[in-house]
Structure 1
């Protein structure tokens, strides 16, 4: 099991380094949560909910990282403008 999860995790992390693919992952995660189609049906009590929670955690993580990066870039840009105005 560990031999399968580690390469999948590495592929996922490398994929998200490109911001274009990060938007694709966010959109696909949102679509999966909203759609009635599941990989594991919710009729199986615990296992059916785990895939939804996993996708929701991916969605929240990636969206929050994207927002934090945008805020950081905006703050750096504003600081650069202030420095330029003071010079």
Structure 2
């Protein structure tokens, strides 16, 4: 399970594949075809809940990081060039 989570997280953080993974996750959640059928109690819903929780947590984390970078970007003009360089380093680190 941790291997899938790490792969999913890394691919979701890659800007080139981000929207593809989000769309594929939503299609999987809405599709009647599953890894484990939903007719089986508890086990059938486990894969859907797992994908939903991972997608929600990763999207929340991406949004929080984006908000932090944007809020720091608004301080650029008031703090000077040295601060601007530090903000740009943070932006490059998160590939935003």
TM-score strictly above 0.5: yes
Per the normalisation by structure 2, the TM-score is 0.66
Query: 2:37 aligned with 1:41, yes or no?
Result: yes
Query: 2:75 aligned with 1:79, yes or no?
Result: yes
Per the normalisation by structure 1, the TM-score is 0.72
- The 1:8–1:63 alpha-carbon spacing in structure 2 relative to 1, beyond 3 Å, is closer
TM-align CA RMSD: 2.1
- The 1:42–1:7 alpha-carbon spacing in structure 2 relative to 1, beyond 3 Å, is closer
Contact 1:22 1:62 (8 Å CA) reproduced: no
Query: 2:35 aligned with 1:16, yes or no?
Result: no
List gaps (5 residues or longer) in structure 2: 81-96
Give the drift of 1:46. 1.3
Give the drift of 1:75. 0.7
Aligned residues: 80
List gaps (5 residues or longer) in structure 1: none
